[in-house]
Structure 1
């Protein structure tokens, strides 16, 4: 709904102040706002801390609409975070190439660049392809070097919130929420969760779907709204994100969390193990494939071993494998190699044919086809030549493009992975581009110890997450005027804390508590 009434921005001190800020922004962008009536204001829904508006005006050059985002700060939110620190974070993130640019500030809000991308929906968070993109972006975020001490901010922030909640709540609400027990709970959690896996990184701390945007064309992800961002255990940030999968803030009951949507506890690694094992075996077929290519051909930069880039490539490969392309969805690998064997025999001298063992390869191909097809076999559309020269990256958006499809066809996706792993041993721009360095091969089955540690830690940190947002809900119910049932939201969060705690914290030091949290009036 577009509204040509600037009075909708009720928190501005005056129309004059508003026009001064927007006029300055327009001038910086090469535009002129001559009339307040030329502004179109569109309220954006879903924010629970601030009020957010899209403001449009015609550009000076061609009359197309210029879009900016105006964020009006919520009342009473200074207890949750320091606004000046949040602004510094915002500006620092922008310098790192993350998020929108800051275009202008005023006492009760700011003007931001409008990101031309789609805000995710609740359903999107559970889409495996989108989830993989978010995971990659989170890893980049966690590795940022930001101002401030690199230590967890979570615990002291919650202690501050407990004190503030006590000062706001009636005795009845304080009792119903169990506020008198929370200082002890926070102390216990800090000790127990800090004993195990603990990797500190710069965390968003509020990765609900409304704070994640996707460019549908480039598939690049942008994380926005850094009010709660700080250094914390990255397991906490993951825990928070998993908990947000239970929410739908655009439903008829936006405060109600559906824990059937939670992604579960430790995911099974069976399919991952199957795929890794199959890919490992398919390196045999890969060596034959490119060995034959080398016989027939004359040998005519993305760093494949960079973990962050490798994650981007993996996501792109998955998209590629899911393409629906013309032709029968069956492996083309085996017949192609048989054809190449015949062609190689027609080209080679008897000496070379003997040296290369061409007379044995038909039998080897037959054996491989039978043995490898017996196990894990997922057919997808494969690139089949993912060496670094066929992978391009946009340094600004971090989007990956695969090029050169001469060898692309349907094949076992394990073969495509095997090929990619083998390509990690190559450097086609070295003095000896034909020499493969197998010390660069990523190895056989990777250890899952760190993954398991992180999953376990994230699972336990959901407890801290329930406390964190439960306290936020209690305080917000007193200080925020946005139409949202903060008390009920807090009740659910505290209820989940008490229900999950006995199973997640196997310790004699935990405090027992009835899992039922009273209804809050």
Structure 2
């Protein structure tokens, strides 16, 4: 007879708090000293259920995972979720303008956009619905007098915001941009570059869902400016955009089975659509930041961020609305 005795192995878990996020708290859990097999636990930020449809997030996460575009989702719980850690480097603004890297980003985004909707269902964008919901949640005042004065003097009035939303919906909905599965929050830190494998992966799918293809790209271009210290001089110029958009269209056509030939007209059409939808991105995150300024417990100047986004919206509007789609 062989007697099997239980063996106790003492495992030392290491917890590492990641500090880049301004919506949630993210904790990496791993055994020992080496970050070889890391599990990420994301704890949702205060009142973020006002901003994020958590059921929709999980649905998108699973669809993306099934198509090899997202890490493994291990479990969800009432105020967070747990998923696989992607090995690599979270990017900064100086990385995303590197041609070797931005071509990988363009290709990966095209792969997501090319995912077919289930059972022939024709998707619709919920951008305007979400924007309207955010508008209904923005604060009317702040208890801190100094903050409130800043809010009243530097943020456009509700009437102006409402007029701009109506204008955008009318203008942008008629640009002909397809509605596809989008990431919707492709800031630099949500892109993981693995130099050894020569690829990129995207993380954080809180805002993912069906939206205008051009919005997703325009939003990413806005994020070239960074988050903590925003610098819109880093917004990609025409030459970089032409290269990026051509790489994207070649990959998108390939994934859709249409070959890889891309015309100058196709690049020009996408250029106009992307730069006009970049306006909607500024507006969306401006509203988002006002709500966060009221509820978030994270140490970040959300009001200042909202002011920056709205200012850039109004600065950019005349220039991009002058762009015309080619005949």
| Cα 1:199–1:166 shift into 2, 3 Å | same
**What aligned pairs does 1:149-168 form with structure 2 within 5 A after superposition?**
150-166=123-139
Structure 1 equivalent of residue 60 of structure 2: 89
Conserved? CA contact 1:91–1:102, under 8 Å: yes
Structure 1 equivalent of residue 170 of structure 2: 191
Structure 1 equivalent of residue 217 of structure 2: 238
Give the drift of 1:169.
5.4
* Deviations 1:168-191 (CA, angstroms, capped at 9, x unpaired): 657753564223211221111111
Quote the Cα distance in structure 1 between the aligned partners of 2:164 and 2:192: 35
Structure 2 equivalent of residue 48 of structure 1: 22
Structure 2 equivalent of residue 264 of structure 1: 237
RCO comparison, higher one (Cα < 8 Å, 6+): 2
Give the drift of 1:196.
2.4
Conserved? CA contact 2:111–2:252, under 8 Å: no
Give the drift of 1:470.
0.7
TM-score (norm 1): 0.53
Conserved? CA contact 2:92–2:188, under 8 Å: yes
TM-score (norm 2): 0.83
SS for the counterpart of 1:221 is: strand
Query: Structure 2 residue aligned with 1:470, among 275, 286, 289?
Result: 286
| Cα 1:57–1:187 shift into 2, 3 Å | same
| Cα 1:259–1:307 shift into 2, 3 Å | closer
* Deviations 1:65-93 (CA, angstroms, capped at 9, x unpaired): 63211111111111111112111211221
Conserved? CA contact 1:477–1:485, under 8 Å: yes
Conserved? CA contact 1:53–1:71, under 8 Å: yes
* Deviations 1:150-206 (CA, angstroms, capped at 9, x unpaired): 112111111111110045657753564223211221111111112223222111111
| Cα 1:309–1:239 shift into 2, 3 Å | closer
2:307 counterpart of 1:491? yes
Quote the Cα distance in structure 2 between the aligned partners of 1:242 and 1:55: 32
Give the drift of 1:230.
1.4
Query: Structure 1 residue aligned with 2:155, among 152, 167, 177?
Result: 177
Consecutive unaligned residues in structure 2, runs of 5 or more: 1-6
Quote the Cα distance in structure 2 between the aligned partners of 1:242 and 1:33: 52
Give the drift of 1:145.
2.9
Output the aligned Cα RMSD. 3.2
Determine which structure has more spread, i.e. the larger CA radius of gyration: 1
Consecutive unaligned residues in structure 1, runs of 5 or more: 1-31, 273-305, 313-440, 508-521
Query: Structure 2 residue aligned with 1:502, among 318, 322, 326?
Result: 318
Structure 2 equivalent of residue 69 of structure 1: 40
Structure 2 equivalent of residue 449 of structure 1: 265
**What aligned pairs does 1:348-367 form with structure 2 within 5 A after superposition?**
none
How many residue pairs match? The answer is 303
SS for the counterpart of 2:82 is: strand
SS for the counterpart of 1:131 is: helix
Quote the Cα distance in structure 2 between the aligned partners of 1:466 and 1:33: 55
Quote the Cα distance in structure 2 between the aligned partners of 1:242 and 1:64: 31
| Cα 1:263–1:475 shift into 2, 3 Å | same
Structure 2 equivalent of residue 330 of structure 1: none
Structure 2 equivalent of residue 211 of structure 1: 190
